[in-house]
A and B are shown apart, each in its own frame.
Chain A
Amino acid sequence: QKEVEQDPGPLSVPEGAIVSLNCTYSNSAFQYFMWYRQYSRKGPELLMYTYSSGNKEDGRFTAQVDKSSKYISLFIRDSQPSDSATYLCAMSAYSSASKIIFGSGTRLSIRP
């Protein structure tokens, strides 16, 4: 079993819908949580960073961490075709960036 599990999708939703992307994990020591967006043929780019539990909002994006359930989510409101990409969750138990473990990514497609 992988430490970080992520549904690969693909997930297809109409423009304007609320998108929910999720990851589960097994290591209760994880305390740093991130979401990356990766467009086709590009490198990942950091979207959200959260330390420990709780919610964090940035524009149309909201990240949620539920450590009791070992579950993290990324919500995208008013989804746009430009949001079509692969979304990778990432997490770490340590403060060193070299210890970040990435999920395998969920491919998201927003239909105009």
Chain B
Amino acid sequence: DSGVTQTPKHLITATGQRVTLRCSPRSGDLSVYWYQQSLDQGLQFLIQYYNGEERAKGNILERFSAQQFPDLHSELNLSSLELGDSALYFCASSVGSGVGNTIYFGEGSWLTVV
């Protein structure tokens, strides 16, 4: 158990809908990351928050947004969903934001868009 909690574990939704994925980082970790993992694209970095503020953006679509709350939990909002958004979404956390800090991944949220 990495200590990173993600909900829901699985969800199935229709195209055009909106979903929210939730993440509780490990206790004491200030950095939260969101990744998308699909068979064709591999593990892709979406966005990072550090202590409540957006720190870095990766390949995140405009239809996607995220935030980190004062208690450091984070949400990833996916809207106007398309079939191609079906993937495994990981939240991860680390103490700091440097590459030398171990990044701990949650078990992921499986999103299926039908």
Enumerate chain B residues within 8 angstroms of A41, measured Cβ to Cβ. 107-108
Which residue of chain A has its CB nearest to the CB of B56?
Answer: A98
Q: Does B102 contact A46, Cβ atoms closer than 8 Å?
A: yes
| B interface residues, how many (CB within 8 angstroms) | 27
A60 at interface, CB cutoff 8 A: no
Q: Does A97 contact B94, Cβ atoms closer than 8 Å?
A: yes
Count CB-based A-B contacts (< 8 Å): 64
Q: Does B106 contact A32, Cβ atoms closer than 8 Å?
A: no
Distance, CA A41 to CA B88, complexed state (A) = 9
Interface locus among B11-19, B40-48, B66-74: B40-48
Distance, CA A92 to CA B103, complexed state (A) = 14
Distance, CA A95 to CA B101, complexed state (A) = 10
Interface locus among A10-18, A61-69, A72-80, A100-108: A100-108
Which residue of chain A has its CB nearest to the CB of B103?
Answer: A97
Q: Does A98 contact B107, Cβ atoms closer than 8 Å?
A: no
Q: Does B2 contact A96, Cβ atoms closer than 8 Å?
A: no
Q: Does B105 contact A95, Cβ atoms closer than 8 Å?
A: no
Enumerate chain B residues within 8 angstroms of A103, measured Cβ to Cβ. 42
B21 at interface, CB cutoff 8 A: no
Distance, CA A46 to CA B93, complexed state (A) = 12
Residues of A within 8 A of B (CB): 32, 41-46, 49, 51, 88, 92, 94-100, 102-105
Residues of B within 8 A of A (CB): 2, 4, 31, 33, 42-45, 48, 55-56, 58, 90, 92, 94, 97-108
